[in-house]
Amino acid sequence: MLLLLGMVQLTHASPIVGASANTIPEGTFMVDGWFAWRDFTWSYENSSGSWSTLSGDRELTAATFMPRIYYGVSDWLTLRAGLSLEDRYRDFPDLDDSRTSTGVGDFVFDPKIRVYEGVGGHPRVAALMGVRVPTGDTDSDIPLSDGTTDVLLGIAATHQTGEVAGHVCLTHWFNGETDGGFDVPDLWIGSLTLETPIDDEWTLLWEAKGYASSESSNYRRIYACPGISWSHGRATVGLSAMVSAYRRGDTAVSPYDFDWAPYVRFYYRFF
């Protein structure tokens, strides 16, 4: 049970909330998406209070692709909706346990409301809110959803000086209760991003992402996420590496972690 909840929760801890306070113009559309693949190499044991590498030939992986669509209701209100595609794989030869699950994950609707914009367009501040609906399969060999309905509240700020832009985002997921009566711990998710252009098309990305349970002081994750993006016309593609910088265990949230994970993102503006 801890394995399945842990796999689901790490998907929830992925970067699904826009890290900036930017909104899109009224009456316009935008599409984006991100893909992350995680090879879990570390396991936490509550009994010993320590981390250890997965033993023997054990293998545990998770992949997520999240396409999303945006619509500008007004210059200060942007709607966003996304439905993830999930893949889970587990192979524990010593337990004669091999299983895999692939399919649709949960649906997320998370609008953004710009509440402040300074003279000249910066700084900007936006309120974030959202809901995650359990559309993923909860009965597959490895569940693609924990079956809970979850609510998001948060805030983001963006400031640009010259060509350099910085973003700060802090969100809180109020997670629900599974059909089996397990109260999924709530999560704080924060990110800090700095964009430093190289030229008109290439930009270096410097990011840090942090995750913490508001109900357990033992769960902490921090990742350094250096990357690069390429923009041409209305399209942008970025590649980053999520590198584990700090981990603190708690099997109630997720007993597994990875050393690093590739993270690809793209977006296309129809304006």
What would the pLDDT profile of 62-86 be if each residue is shown by its tens digit?
Answer: 999 999 999 999 999 999 999 999 9
Architecture of domain 2-269: Beta Barrel (2.40)
Domain range list for the chain? 2-269
Q: What is the mean pLDDT of residues 201-207?
A: 96
The DSSP code for 55 is P
Q: Is the pLDDT reported for residue 123 higher than 80? A: yes
φ, ψ for residue 137, nearest 5 deg: -70, 125
3-state helix, strand, coil in the chain (%, to 5): 5, 60, 30
**How far apart are alpha carbons 10 and 257 in whole angstroms?**
8
- Say whether 12 sits in a helix, a strand or coil: helix
Q: What is the mean pLDDT of residues 50-71?
A: 92
Residue 83: what pLDDT? 96
Q: Is the pLDDT reported for residue 17 higher than 80? A: no
- Say whether 159 sits in a helix, a strand or coil: strand
pTM: 0.90
Q: Give pairs for 49-55: CB < 8 Å, separation 24+.
A: 49/249, 50/249, 51/247, 51/249, 51/257, 55/94
Q: What is the mean pLDDT of residues 236-245?
A: 95
Q: In 69-170, which residue ranges form alpha helices assigned H by DSSP?
A: none
Q: What is the mean pLDDT of residues 233-251?
A: 92
The token pair that represents 61 in the structure block? 């992986």
